[in-house]
Amino acid sequence: MSLYTTEVRRLGKRRFVRYLTLAGLLVLVAVAVGMFFTNQKIGPEQLAAAERAAEQQYQQNVSYSQQERAECERVKAAGEKSDGRFPEDCSVIQPPPREAFEARWFLPATFDFREQFGQTVITFTAVLALVAFVGGASFIGAEWSSGGMMNLLLWRPQRVRVLLTKLAALLSVLFGVTVVAGVAWTAAFWATGTFRGTTGKMTSGAWQSFGLTGLRGLVLILVAGALGFGLASLGRHTALALGGVLGIMVVGQFGLGVVLGLAQVKFVEAWLLPTYLLAWMQKKITLENWRACQATYTGECQPATLDITWQNSSVLLSVALVLVLGSAIWVMRRRDIT
């Protein structure tokens, strides 16, 4: 049996990895089921109910305006002080026009597949990326802490080859799980759009856009798995990868954000990792700095902007991947196995 096949089977038999994957998939199932039951298909009955709700809201505002106007006239006639509650002319107290109360405000939530499915792909990617990172760290970390890695290297002394074969087994399993889960995720939300919303206006361009978003999500999941694997291999323990990420998120993200905010640094979000991860999935994020007012020819104040694109994110992810995996391979070649 080949080393690769053995490592795939070894990964599949790890109970922590199986339970972790199951937990992640159950979270995705809960999200999909929740979206199905919290949305409704809009029909004549829902439209009529929304019209009635809009009319009721309008009548309530009319009644309130009349009461306020009557109170204003009473206060003016009695010569009492209103303390700025009422205007000088009570006749200006009028209810908003009827057209200001739109029926669409009172419609129940409905799932528009074309408009909303892209955001669900981000949720899908976030859950599986977390599973990939922790699972990848646990896979190699458990091998080191249990002594399994040392035993394997007695029979296969090609250290780098063994490490990269384990990484290939991890990435191939992640690829398979992500593709299968992604197909099921798309089918689930297509059913939600069909029975609890709409799937109209879907074109080949829309499907292509969703496909590219899914592809970027797949890459991010594989990168997360590889980073978890590399960090745990460096420290020869799962805790190093998990502790390192916890430190980065708590100290490097929240702490850095607070410090940069107090220092009034422009575009604080440009220094935070989640911004680049979101830009990778959405292709571009535009940050705004309202402290820098740019007056237009109409005199309107427009904030200064900064675009973070998926190309910027790809550079960051590539550098992190090369540094982590490169360090893990270098350390693997130089360290004695004891």
pLDDT digits (tens, 9 = 90+) for 200-241: 889 999 999 999 999 999 999 999 999 999 888 887 766 666
Percentage, residues of the chain above pLDDT 70: 83
Question: Strand, coil or helix: what is 285?
Answer: strand
- Same-domain check for residues 59 and 88: yes
- Same-domain check for residues 54 and 172: no
Measured CA to CA, the distance from residue 149 to residue 162 in angstroms comes to: 9
- Same-domain check for residues 51 and 89: yes
- Same-domain check for residues 279 and 240: yes
- Same-domain check for residues 64 and 153: no
Query: Looking at residues 77-89, what average pLDDT do you find?
Result: 77
Query: Looking at residues 116-133, what average pLDDT do you find?
Result: 94
Instruction: Bin 272: left if φ > 0, else alpha if -120 < ψ < 50, else beta.
Output: beta
Q: What is the structure's pLDDT at 283?
A: 92
| Residue 278 pLDDT greater than 90, yes or no | yes
Q: What is the structure's pLDDT at 252?
A: 61
- Same-domain check for residues 145 and 250: yes
Q: What is the mean pLDDT of the chain?
A: 84
- Same-domain check for residues 67 and 139: no
Measured CA to CA, the distance from residue 86 to residue 129 in angstroms comes to: 57
- Choosing from 106, 133, 156, the residue where a domain stops is 106
- Same-domain check for residues 210 and 276: yes
Query: Looking at residues 75-94, what average pLDDT do you find?
Result: 78
- Same-domain check for residues 236 and 212: yes
- Same-domain check for residues 24 and 68: no
The CB-side HSE value for 27 (13 A sphere, CA atoms) comes to 16
Element (H, E) at 308: strand 301-309
| Residue 317 pLDDT greater than 50, yes or no | yes
- Same-domain check for residues 74 and 167: no
Q: What is the structure's pLDDT at 323?
A: 93
Give pTM, 2 decimals: 0.83
Question: Strand, coil or helix: what is 288?
Answer: strand
Among candidate residues 144, 139, 212, the one with its CA nearest the CA of residue 174: 139
What burial class does residue 111 get, using C-beta atoms within 10 Å of its C-beta: 0-12 exposed, 13-18 middle, 19+ buried?
buried
Q: Tokens standing for 121?
A: 């792909």
Q: What is the structure's pLDDT at 97?
A: 87
Higher pLDDT, 59 or 335: 59
Measured CA to CA, the distance from residue 77 to residue 79 in angstroms comes to: 5
- Same-domain check for residues 16 and 164: yes
Largest CA distance in the chain: 101
Higher pLDDT, 178 or 273: 178
Query: 232 is in which domain, residue-wise?
Result: 3-40+110-334
Question: Strand, coil or helix: what is 121?
Answer: helix
Percentage, residues of the chain above pLDDT 90: 38
- Choosing from 85, 106, 127, the residue where a domain stops is 106
Among candidate residues 51, 22, 254, 209, the one with its CA nearest the CA of residue 131: 22
Q: Tokens standing for 221?
A: 């999941």
